[in-house]
A and B are shown apart, each in its own frame.
Chain A
Amino acid sequence: MNPKQTIRPTQLPVDLYEGDDQITVLARLPGVRPEDLEVRLEGDQLTVSATRHEPVPAGEGDHQARALFRELGEAHFSRQIRLRSPIDADGIEARLELGLLQLRLPKAAAARPRVIEVRAG
């Protein structure tokens, strides 16, 4: 049996920001590499899944390193967010920098506020 299947993912805490044109999702993912992160949009449901491997030292001679204490082990994170506004899926931008994930979700044109010109009758 694959031992990973027995590990339940931890719910990933997020901050959500909203403007007229886009929604931004922020999450902390230190130690997660881009290839271990998945962002999926299905209908109005956004799912962020990530795996962090234990950050063992990888320098020369570190292969025989032994742990004195370990607070950062292997971990699986997941979060589902139901979005209230339709999103332009092609415009989604995911940036993982310094262990911080910033997801920019542009609202679909129909969901953006529009100013209607009022003409004098």
Chain B
Amino acid sequence: MFLNLAPLRRDPVLAAFDQLLADTTRRAPSTAVRVNGYQTDEAYILVLETPGLSFDQIEVKVENGGLSVLGRGQAPSQGEQRLVHRELPHSPDFSRRFSFGDDADLEQASAELKDGLLSIRIPRRQPGARRIAIVAA
């Protein structure tokens, strides 16, 4: 749960405190983002919820043999309107890390964003399959 200071927002001191609280919250991305993981013969597939984030606000990194997904954004501005009731997190920020089996070809991972869901597909290397260079005689 989050502190609801909305009814007190008109007090400038409390508004400043609320902003400070929001800024502090932003520095620690939430890891509460929910994910489904699937496996087929050809790929591993992750589906993450990323509501309110566009593609340029999401970073997918390959590091240390795993995959890190980081989202950073802002709640949409409501102009002159004032917040009168809050239940959503202060920001859509999140981070989450995944590791895979040795057959995951992380360098070939691809991602798609639709309806607030990020789908990441990591192809699996097929056992015994090798690319053979063909050279003209």
Contact = CB atoms under 8 A, between A and B. Distances in A.
Interface residues of B, number: 37
A33 B115 contact: yes
Top 7 nearest A-B pairs (CB, nearest first) are A99-B116, A30-B116, A99-B51, A19-B81, A13-B87, A30-B49, A71-B34
Contacts, number: 126
Nearest to B85: A16
Interface stretch (B17-25, B36-44, B59-67): B36-44
Contacts of A66: 38-40
Chain B interface SS verdict (over half): loop
Contacts of B53: 98
Interface of A: 13-20, 22-24, 26-33, 54-57, 59, 61-62, 64-72, 98-100, 102
Contact of A98 (B40, B54, B84): B54
A17 B78 contact: yes
Given A28-B52, A100-B51, A17 B83 contact: yes
